[in-house]
Amino acid sequence: MLEEIAKLTTQLGTLPARLQRAPDFPSQLKDYTLYQIERMLKASDFSIATQAQLQMAQKLIRQEARLMQKS
């Protein structure tokens, strides 16, 4: 449960620079947490970012460890 709380409070901007250099990285979301991003998706609030950008941000945070293993 603590691991899930840690994930939900992770801000997109705290991801390693390697992931932030990904094409189409949603940099406007760097100060938002996974919890906030998921709430925007659930509410269909696309005022800050598109649905695709929100989904990408969610995936980057949720799968950070797995993505960092790829070379």
Cα→Cα distances 22→1, 3, 27, 39, Å: 29, 25, 10, 23
Q: What pLDDT band is residue 22 in, cutting at 50, 70 and 90?
A: confident
CA dist 62 and 68 (Å) reads 12
User: Domain ranges in the chain?
Assistant: 2-69
pLDDT, greater one: 41 or 23: 41
pLDDT at 64 over 90: no
pTM: 0.81
pLDDT, greater one: 1 or 37: 37
pLDDT at 3: 83
Mean pLDDT computed over 63-69: 75
